[in-house]
Structure 1
Amino acid sequence: MTAIFAEAMGADFARLHPELQRRFGVGLDAGYACVGRGTMHRVRRGPWWTVPFLQLGRMRNILVPDVGTDVPFTIHNHPYRDPLGREAITFVREYRLGRRTRRFDATMVRADAGHVLDYLGSHQHLAVDLELRAEPDGSLLIRTGAQRFYEGPVGFRFPMLFSGVAELRERYDDAAGVFRVDLVVSNPVFGFLFGYDGEFTCEYVPLGEVPERLLPRRYERRQ
């Protein structure tokens, strides 16, 4: 079975830098997981009125309300078979801001329609369609598309007026031997909400049992 990202991107996956192909080639058949460690040069947020929105997201490990510079962080990418039978990959980011550790949780699966689906947060309340594109320089551009909210029997398409659109760029710097990442989350009406930029290196480890603390607390079947 082809890895989730490679299958979703098709021939475009081969246009990524080889190190990005290795990093996003994580999967059950590939037989390895990836743990990245590095520094966020800046963790930013929008104006003061964005703080309640970010604090609400923090309660489910969806957004980070803090700001800082030279912030140590770790990203955990572990493939596993979830209770619904899907191959899934953890994208759990941990930021150490002073004495606090903040988390931004996500779980990637392959949607029935063929694209990568990103379940955000510790309880998979938000299901977000991802658009993936290899750029001419071999970097990966990820943009969020339609978003749906699920809680119990409730499910609806999340109005973009009350949500954020994320654009993430990740590339490999051959000279420095590091991955560089830049994320911007903005609202079409209210502007910039949250973002970060930084660099990290990766350690590739054999598959094993995924630490319980990195797994979602509930799983959402709806896409």
Structure 2
Amino acid sequence: MDDRTPRPAPVSIFRTVMGADFERLHPELRRRFSVGLASGEACTGRGTMHRVWHGRGLVKPFLALGGTRNILVPREGRDVSFTIENVPYADGFARETVTFVRTFDLPGRARRFDAQMVLGPKGDRILDYLGTHQHLASELRFHAESDGSLLIRSGEHRFREGPVDVRVPALIGGEAEVRERFDERTGRFRIRVRVVNRHFGPLFGYEGSFTASYEDVRVRGVRTGLRPVREEARA
């Protein structure tokens, strides 16, 4: 076989769920969302969130509670140093998992917003398990925009603990929207995240930019503290 023959790109959980739509993404986004066990690559993004914000006073107790399990961020800030770690591994149920662990270096104390993404059992959706104990789970929909950017929207949220498996009521739940694009002028990824409650309005969000570096998963491994304390089997 000619070594110059193009080889098919590794199939990540994101490429699987997006299908042909994946090819419409900007090449740098395609590489970032090709991280996985097939590619053998992990991705680390480092940059600055120009704004980390949250909603009115009514939502602060919920953000504070979520912050105890690395769900959302209960503090605000500007020009906040930011790291996102996307590392693939096989979880305790032999499912390919990709971490989305975001660290915000806020004054006084760094805050984390943890998520682990898993391909749904039918291969048609991504399951987003939130926090250190995966008590919250949401379905994510991925879509390539006409300019090559990526739009991610969350669906129904479920709370799971022991025998409990219930839908989170819309009154207290949040709908997330993530927009990520690659800025060729600066060579940086630009991201904007908004979590909104349909009754109370905006809950939490951040926006900024970062650069990405890639590492061999076999060399890097999964550092201590990156995986959740508890894993949830229910899809």
TM-score, normalised relative to structure 2:
0.93
Alpha-carbon separation, structure 2, partners of 1:212 and 1:122: 13
Alpha-carbon separation, structure 1, partners of 2:51 and 2:161: 33
Corresponding residue number in structure 2 for 1:213: 225
- Paired amino acid for 1:137: D
Alpha-carbon separation, structure 2, partners of 1:45 and 1:138: 28
1:85 aligns with 2:97: no
CA drift of 1:152 comes to 1.1
Corresponding residue number in structure 1 for 2:109: 100
Alpha-carbon separation, structure 2, partners of 1:132 and 1:161: 25
Counterparts in 2 of 1:139-178, with a 5 A limit?
A: 139-178=149-188
1:34 aligns with 2:46: no
Alpha-carbon separation, structure 2, partners of 1:221 and 1:55: 27
CA drift of 1:98 comes to 1.2
Corresponding residue number in structure 1 for 2:63: 54
CA drift of 1:122 comes to 0.6
Q: How many positions carry a matched residue from both structures?
A: 223
Alpha-carbon separation, structure 2, partners of 1:211 and 1:123: 17
1:63 aligns with 2:94: no
1:133 aligns with 2:133: no
CA drift of 1:74 comes to 0.3
Q: Deviations over 1:160-188 (max 9, x none)?
A: 21111000000000001000000010100
Corresponding residue number in structure 1 for 2:194: 184
Mind listing any 5+ residue stretches in structure 2 that lack a counterpart? 1-9
Alpha-carbon separation, structure 1, partners of 2:141 and 2:33: 14
CA drift of 1:99 comes to 2.3
SS for the counterpart of 2:14 is helix
Alpha-carbon separation, structure 1, partners of 2:186 and 2:201: 33
- Paired amino acid for 1:66: R
Percent of residue pairs identical: 56
Alpha-carbon separation, structure 2, partners of 1:34 and 1:99: 27
CA drift of 1:159 comes to 1.1
